[in-house]
Structure 1
């Protein structure tokens, strides 16, 4: 429509008041209160002065409001008339604006449909990691943003997701699927890798603890085996000592018997082939049995038997 020219003729309001005269009188009167000190005896005077001052102030404020109201009379009348003009203008504005908004809404609906098609083409297998409602950029609704630009941005998002998912999967961790769920919710590669790192650290610590436990068990088993071997050796030594002690006692007894026999007349020694050692207390598959006649002193006899015992020779001593 043609430019509408509103012509307004306004005369500045003139307000006349003996302001300077009243100001001079008030200043002179107020000066009397400077440094005023009231006591309990003059309290009634102070109250009267305070009431008087408040009354004077109320009078001045009352006159201000009266003047303002009078000044606003022509403005209030003008404002009402202007509101009528605005109502006349607002009617076609609302009509045109509603149609423009509907056209814009239709354009945006169409843009959304175009974006959804591009989204399906660009994201492909990565769509589950890129929900459209979460990645939609408000500027895509603008007419100044081309579909080519939107396609470029969608492809960049899909490429980024593909790359980061590849990084997650390449870790070959046992919790890759958990990490992918974290990534799907946040699209935060750092958060997904943190999930993997925490698991791997815990796993490493658990494996190390298991290794230490096994080493400790193996050490306990080894020490037990060593202790068992030592115990067996100790028992063997004790058994050898016991046998030797028995042999020593037998030797002592034999020595005593020989000493007694040495004091008796010598009887010729006759070898009895029937006493050939068949009654030995243990089998002797590769041994021979020989009989010797030894003429010795008791001390020498003891040394002979000790020598036999030291090399493990079984012998029997018979009185000659």
Structure 2
């Protein structure tokens, strides 16, 4: 039977009392947990590069705001493909997840769903993502398909390199290309700089996230930048976030952005600096809160880009 009837409770790091765990029918809860619906920060982090790119494209194209239809499509696509990616990750990592305190409560190692059920659910989410992708021009469709390579290899990187966060950045920052391509049917240097900046940002925030698991990761042999940087995490974050901010500024300049965009980037620097100052790498709960705070950072940059497009249009 496809629908699960077993519910062993919420995943350890889920948002407490989320509607997934309180209102959704019991049979559907494991699938919602596979897709991380009760942890929405993931799809926000996947979505923001798309929205930033769409906003920069609006600036470059002289439009007053990003294409609203594109923003909606990116939102639906981000939820679907983040869910599909997480389901794929859980299928690949089930043996590791069963050995780590924070992840052993995930649906597959907890016995809430089988691998076959998870694979079927992953396929359904991919079909939703494909339906969204096909709404764009042919160049954007091909670009979206190309992103699957980064998605496919990411779960395996923690076994071979200290830089799995780099490969997560390759996948999660891909939207920096998509928003621009959806508007123009091509790419230029602005989305390239936005993409590389997004990779640096991703390495930074996911390093903070990975500090939750560093002891268990060491025991099971999982590699991460959290383990690599160790006590040098704060200097590493300064370098990564500074580079990300500089690259975002370069992308804005290449898109012919005005002052509002750079004010947004500067406000974002303040937020990232706050993360670094207050970070305690040995406090797992705080690491999770700081990781989630990157949703605020995403909104700051997006607001600056949208404001700039609107001001220039007036």
TM-score, length-scaled by structure 2: 0.18
TM-score, length-scaled by structure 1: 0.18
